[in-house]
Structure 1
């Protein structure tokens, strides 16, 4: 019986250096330990042993106008598909609550630096954390880690959450932010009201100035001409002329009748004198009203122009005043209000960080990265073997 032929002789092939053995003979890649196990272990050490507990104070508020219109059925349908109008007023408050202006105000009112840099807090979350300087920019970045503001487009309610290492500090910061938001809304109202009524107030001032100027010219005219009402004087003169003309017509009728009945009557010269006197008086009164340089006609014309201008100025002032009142009422209707739905409460339990959840997120994320890397490496190897 022949001996079996040895096809290959030599030392046994070594195992890949990237593998180790764990749980018996099952190999575990070193990449799994470095990419998944080590970050998960570090996250567990930090979140379970080092991370300081943080207390969350939550508040809910709405920003609305006094006369906010109700949405139509089409608007409600559009809101359902995510096409609701942008709530710029609420978002303006949100942006302020996370702005540098809010940091400056809280630093002066609520001692923000001491709250975010509480003694005993872990060096990875407090301010200034490792690698972060004591600057205003660093304080603002840290502030944005501790404050979040959300908006529910369905209900229109904004949610403010403030984290701190002490429950009273979190409640105090949330209260200060709400008060700052109310002051911002008040400033917006004042600016909007000022812009709305500025034009109306300017129109009222111009109308008052014009009316005062016309009234001054009218008073100067009366003092100069020594007439309170030239038009009334002309009307009185006209009435006098009418009465004199009536008497003159009566005398002329009487004289004609007397001359027809008694041509030699001694009363005829007396009637002729009276008729002549009335005729001269009528002519004089007519000259006072019109026809002479110092008659009432040009004075009445100038007076009527001034009266007409004053009436126009009165009407303009009334219209400007009405417009100003309407502008103020519209500004009140459009005024914004920050109303608290839920005030900032005092937390009695630390809810941040979510320790096990954070560890699980690190583990799942690292595992996905490792799996994707393994797939890429395997694809590259197959590509090289095929080439």
Structure 2
């Protein structure tokens, strides 16, 4: 058995564990700190060389502690235990001489006796060479630096583990646990909803208009406004009220077997029912092909199909109402013009008939022509009689009987002529004359012809307007009818759970970045 010096850091740690008093513990801590650090007098190369030589002597911890106390007793300011040995030797004092050790022992005997009842002093013992508790080899400064680096790395690893555990705890509280709750709801609690899909489009009647409007006829752009209006109606409260009146929409979702999140309360307001209506009914309009797609979700597939059929009927009524208003607006002016033309023609015709009845003649102009012809004929006969009378008077001895007869004929013809002239004067002059009556009848006939033309034009305009109005008629064509679903469409468990995880993770990341930026701003 041999006694080996214990100068390594392991002996210093063991001495620290077995120190008897508080003073010994403090000395052991100071010695360990000084042993793991190079001497502070780095500017004096000779002192460093002497301290390195003392370090290689393999002094025990107790020897170094006694040397430190002896240096303090002699008033030497030593920076470490090795520096204390160096200073004592420079002063000519052997720190390990028996006399010096006995002096130190006398001073500390009382203190050690007081501490014996509390702790047991463990002095360096004789150990076997083959034991597993042998001190390690002497450590060089490079080895000590490597040891310190290893301790720093272990400390960094411990801090990283603590931070990772704290990060995992935060993620569990703010991300994993809420995601688990959401997934549990979707997989175990949520009531399955059955969706029915349908698709319909709004078409325009055949026939193109004029100018630029004819270029868009028959395309999806011609009915884009009507499609958007129909979509807005199906998503409005008006459609919800009609569904509530016809089917009892709120009662469908107030049943007890529906989960609390999707179930309506018995005293639900219209706003709450409308929010649920917007969630359960999805309507989208594709302007590229002009098709409106509608999806209706309900707790029962038959109810879902019934709601879809109701909404399609509402949409068809809405389209018919919109086109009817357009047709009425276009036809109103044409009908008013046609009716006015009919009234004016009827008035002109009544005036003509009244004038014809007033004159009691079908053709007053023929009467005037006949009178004028008779007057001309009488004038011709009078001229002939006057010539005959002149011829009789040219004889030296005219026949008096013939002369008187000729004169009598002329007188009679002149009397008839005067009657015809007076009749002609009555027909031609005066407000109620036949000429004026004939003129008024001609004017009435011309007015009637004009009214006939206006009536014909109004009829053509009305027919043209009716044709244009018919071309603007909209038809709702259902391309995909709703069919009952055999499997629940909602909730989409996996997709919704992943979405919830991404949402919670994004919120946590945003809050963490915000907190980091605020800490950096405050610390700077």
TM-score category by the smaller chain? Answer: 0.7 to 0.9
| Contact 1:65–1:334 (CA under 8 A) maintained in structure 2 | yes
Alignment of 1:157-172 (within 5 A): 157-172=291-306
Shift of 1:238: 1.6
Q: Which has the higher contact order (CA 8 A, sep 6+)?
A: 1
Q: 1:164 to 1:250 in 2, by over 3 A?
A: same
Q: 1:233 to 1:18 in 2, by over 3 A?
A: farther
Distance in 2 between residues matched to 1:381 and 1:233, nearest whole Å: 116
Question: What per-residue deviation string (whole Å, max 9, x for no partner) do you get for residues 152-183 of structure 1?
Answer: 11111110110011111111100010011111
Distance in 2 between residues matched to 1:282 and 1:41, nearest whole Å: 124
1:371 and 2:509 correspond: yes
1:145 and 2:279 correspond: yes
Give the match for residue 341 of structure 2: 207
Alignment of 1:1-387 (within 5 A): 3-5=35-37, 19=163, 21=165, 28-67=167-206, 87-128=224-265, 133-223=267-357, 225-229=358-362, 232-246=363-377, 248-249=379-380, 252=383, 256=387, 259=390, 263=394, 264=398, 266=402, 268-269=406-407, 272-273=410-411, 275-277=413-415, 279-292=417-430, 294-385=432-523, 387=524
SS in 1 for 2:259: coil
Distance in 1 between residues matched to 2:200 and 2:207, nearest whole Å: 16
Distance in 2 between residues matched to 1:374 and 1:135, nearest whole Å: 40
| Contact 1:252–1:275 (CA under 8 A) maintained in structure 2 | no
Distance in 1 between residues matched to 2:274 and 2:162, nearest whole Å: 45
Shift of 1:206: 3.1
Task: State how many pairs are aligned.
Answer: 365
Q: 1:18 to 1:197 in 2, by over 3 A?
A: farther
Q: 1:311 to 1:133 in 2, by over 3 A?
A: same
TM-score scaled to structure 1, two decimals? 0.80
| More displaced 10-residue stretch of structure 1: 133-142 or 169-178 | 133-142
Q: 1:106 to 1:292 in 2, by over 3 A?
A: closer
Shift of 1:291: 2.8
Q: 1:301 to 1:32 in 2, by over 3 A?
A: same
Q: What RMSD, in angstroms, separates the aligned Cα atoms of the two structures?
A: 3.6
Distance in 1 between residues matched to 2:488 and 2:208, nearest whole Å: 41
Distance in 1 between residues matched to 2:520 and 2:242, nearest whole Å: 61
Q: 1:170 to 1:151 in 2, by over 3 A?
A: same
TM-score scaled to structure 2, two decimals? 0.61
Give the match for residue 24 of structure 1: none
| More displaced 10-residue stretch of structure 1: 347-356 or 107-116 | 107-116
Distance in 1 between residues matched to 2:472 and 2:384, nearest whole Å: 79
Specify every segment of 5 or more residues in structure 1 that has no aligned partner in the other structure, as ranges.
Answer: 22-26
| Contact 1:19–1:30 (CA under 8 A) maintained in structure 2 | no
| Contact 1:237–1:285 (CA under 8 A) maintained in structure 2 | no
Distance in 1 between residues matched to 2:222 and 2:364, nearest whole Å: 68
Q: 1:258 to 1:221 in 2, by over 3 A?
A: closer
Question: What per-residue deviation string (whole Å, max 9, x for no partner) do you get for residues 193-233 of structure 1?
Answer: 2222222233333333444444444455455x34244xx22
Q: 1:214 to 1:36 in 2, by over 3 A?
A: same
Q: 1:336 to 1:122 in 2, by over 3 A?
A: same
Specify every segment of 5 or more residues in structure 2 that has no aligned partner in the other structure, as ranges.
Answer: 1-6, 8-33, 41-154
Question: What per-residue deviation string (whole Å, max 9, x for no partner) do you get for residues 92-135 of structure 1?
Answer: 1111112111112112222312323344121112324xxx9512
Q: 1:69 to 1:294 in 2, by over 3 A?
A: closer
